[in-house]
Each structure stands twice: as structure tokens, then as C-alpha cells.
Structure 1
Amino acid sequence: MTDSPSFTSPDPQLARTLAVGRSPLGDAGHAAELSQSLAIENLGVVRPKDIRTFAMVLYLDESGLGLQVTGKGAPGPVRAEFVTGKMGYRREHGGGAGQLVAKAVGLQKTHAALHVLDATAGLGQDAFVLASLGCRVTLFERNPVIHALLADGLARASLNVDCAPIVARMSLKEGSSLPWLESAGPESADVIYLDPMFPHRDKSALVKKEMQVFRMVVGDDDDSEALLEAALGCATYRVVVKRPRKAPAIAGTEPATRIEGKSSRYDIYPVKALPAR
């Protein structure tokens, strides 16, 4: 379930670097809608490798919507994909509540159906994992390009018999979560999950295709402290912050505990104990 995007005024820089295009099998109506809502040029039927005037293209083909770097030799598109690939495998063989994000949220400690607010949803991968484990998840994504990718991925997943019940527990909202968090009041969500874009200074850290493309579109989140402070004011049980494993914690309140993986960790800020059921 998604809201219709109605973001703030168009970004002039975006219009200089990004356009909409499609393959002969791409949805022409969707391309026109994206062009209008994002105030970017619609190139019509085009091949990304032939585009010279834009660094990236939101590209519609038979597989849905992808964000594609243009020019010869560019990597393939970044999509929000839940049915096949990594997320499809993770859905079928991912380890259930033993997954790190599930442990961080506390799913091993409670049988309650938690409402998780994912305040920085990105491509929705962690939110999808939590929804697959029974959580009701509200997702906020403020960048209109990433929001479009996520909305497309959820729409495609909703047509799959295995994914449809999971997507039904996910509600995608437009815009920044910060105003919602600041006005929501205490106990407005059971768990609030934050995964803000960390300001990497070491270019060698940009190893994943998704992260490289994300930084071209999104940049860094410079309001992490405000997000954390606001989240602590309206979470019922805990706030969970995902960070690169060696990155410092968000300035301000110190996490009570951490769960570490190979490349990421989860900083946990408890408010009160989770219910047993």
C-alpha cells in the first residue's frame, strides 16, 4: 500500500542529471507520470548505453522500474526487488527471526505482532524481512527517486502469490519521516528503525553498486541526530539504528547494546521491555 507522491518542489540539479526512459516493452503511461511528478525529461524509447546528456535514467522495461547509470560499460540497473534475486532467496532461506535485523528489533524476545516504523526505508529490504516475519511495517522514504523505485518494487511483489501477504503488511508513505516523528507523541510505534546514509569519506568503501548509485541521487543524511532524538520520543519499546560496523554511533544518546555483523551493526536504544506476547 502506497501514498501517491507529492514531494516538495522539484530539484533543478536532478533535472540536469536524471531523465526517464523506457524500452519498447516499458510502460509509457508510467514513464509520463514519473516525468511529470519529478519534473525531469521523458526520453521515450531509448537504450541507456546510448544516452550522453544525462548521467542516470529511470528506466522502465519488462522487469519494472530501475535506476540506471548511462553510457557504455555502466553497471546494470538498481531496483527494489523482492520476488527474485537476493531478496527472493532470503525470503525462502533467510533464517527467520535469527537474522540480525530481526534480533535487533527483538523478534526473538516477543511473540507480539509489532508495528515497526522504518523511518529511512531506502529500497525496503530490511522492512520486507520484518514484514515477512509478521511485523506491520510503515515505511517513509523522502527521496522521490528512491520512493518511486520502492513503490514499483512493492507493486510488483504484490502480484506474486508468496509476496502478496507480506506486502499487505507494509505501508509506504511519502516524504521525510522527521515531521511525523516530531509530532507523533509517545508510544506511536512499537519499534522505530533508522538506517541513515552514512557520510563515507573513503571511496574504497563504496563497493556495492546500489550504494554508489544511491550517493549520486541521495547524498548523505545530515539530520541523523534529529531523527534519533525524535524517534526516542515516540517509540514504545526501542529504537534500532543500522550503521556500518566501524562507524561511530549517532551523536547524542548512547546505545545500550549493539549487534554486529560482518559489515554492519545495529545500535539498540531500549525504551522499555518488549512484551512476551
Structure 2
Amino acid sequence: MKTEDQDAGFRIDFVGGAVGHRLRSGEGRGQALAKAAGLKAGKTPDIVDATAGLGRDSFLLASLGCNVTLIERSKPMYDMLSDALTRASQENGVYEEIVSRMTLLHGDSRELIPTLSPEVILIDPMHPPRQNTALVKKEMRVLRELVGADPDQAELMEIALANAQKRVVLKWPLRAEPMPGIRKPSHQILGKSTRFDVFMIIATANP
């Protein structure tokens, strides 16, 4: 039975743990996320992470030179992200530089995205429930409890597709069915347990 303080003391950490290891490993632009976001030689797009969550993907993209705007509508999650960014910036050196490229906003992405006109929008909503009974990691359990089920994720995708300048990237479980009601992606980039559905935006010429 879960106790009230089971998740007490949980906090987001960009310096230690998995995120710090990911940075120090130097995998860089060869990672699936970077490829999906369109990072390549000479191209470092500005990105909106519309579902910031734990902020890990945003931190990676910022470490590769992108200016990233993180949007989080859960106030407790926003507060934890803000605290994590403050602590990382106090590390100075490379962490301070990375955080300087990250802007955290509290609000609803459906309302904020039309005011930003980003090149790339990243969406990583709450994924469909797993078919197995294995316990998810503590941080993902905390995230689900704070953020909820994202019942408006299809609406968010439609708004993103209508406002992104270059592409929308949907992070989705590797073997999950496509998000209902959303058009077929331009292409997919597969990882070990997740995939990135990439929706390229075709610019229309002015009459």
C-alpha cells in the first residue's frame, strides 16, 4: 500500500542521474530525438517542448545548441522544473550555458503555441497504458500523478500542426497504435522503446 510520503523528496535533477549521464556520454546529434527534431550540420532549430514533463528531452536539445521553450501546465511539475533549472544554472560551466537556452513557461500549450510560431514543436503526451503489469519507474509514476492522462492530446497535436513552421515531433511508444484522429506522419524514427512520428510542415506560397 502506498504511503503519503512514498514520493516525498522526489525532484528533477539535470546534473546527476540519467540526465547527467546522457549529457556526459556525448551521444549528441546521433540520438533519435535530435534526428527527429531536424538537427543536422548547420541546422539548430528553435524548439517548443509543449509537454515539458521531466524536461529531459528539452535539456538534451538545449545541450546540442537549440533554444528550447518548455511549456508545463501542471503547477507542481512547473515548480519542480523551475527548481531544477535554477540548481543546474548554479553549477556554472556547461550546465549554466545549457540552461541559458531554456525558457520555462507555465500555462496551456494549446493557448501558448499560437503566440510563439516555433520552427519545431515536440509533443510527448501521457502514453497509452502499458499492456504488461510491470511497475513503471518512480519518476514516471510521479509524472502521471501530477499531469494526468492528457485527454486533450489530439487537440494539442492539431494546434501544433497548424502553428509549427517546419515540423511537429510526436514521441510515442514504439508499438502503440497511431494517435487517433491525426494524419499519417511524414516519417518515423525508431528508438528502443519509443518512436518519433515526424510531421513535416509544407509551406504554402502566398498568392
**Corresponding residue to 1:153 among 84, 90, 103:** 84
Aligned residue runs from structure 1 range 204-215, under 5 A: 204=133, 206-215=135-144
Contact 2:50 2:71 in 1 (8 A): yes
Identical pairs, percent: 45
| Count of aligned pairs between the two proteins | 200
TM-score, structure 2 as length reference? 0.89
Q: Rg bigger for which structure?
A: 1
The 3 A distance-change label for structure 1 pair 78 and 260 is: farther
1:138 aligns with 2:76: no
1:197 aligns with 2:126: yes
Secondary structure, aligned partner of 2:54:
coil
Q: CA separation in 2, counterparts of 1:96 and 1:176?
A: 30
Partner of 1:235: 164
* Structure 1 residue 198: Cα displacement: 1.5
Partner of 1:101: 33
Contact 2:29 2:64 in 1 (8 A): yes
Partner of 1:268: 198
Q: CA separation in 1, counterparts of 2:134 and 2:61?
A: 27
Contact 1:117 1:191 in 2 (8 A): yes
Q: CA separation in 2, counterparts of 1:258 and 1:205?
A: 27
- Where in structure 2 are there 5+ consecutive unaligned residues? none
Q: CA separation in 1, counterparts of 2:194 and 2:141?
A: 17
**Corresponding residue to 2:7 among 58, 69, 74:** 69
**Corresponding residue to 2:23 among 85, 91, 94:** 91
CA RMSD of aligned residues (A): 2.0
Q: CA separation in 2, counterparts of 1:224 and 1:170?
A: 23
- Where in structure 1 are there 5+ consecutive unaligned residues? 1-51, 57-67, 71-76
Report the structure, 1 or 2, having the larger strand content.
Answer: 1
1:257 aligns with 2:187: yes
TM-score, structure 1 as length reference? 0.67
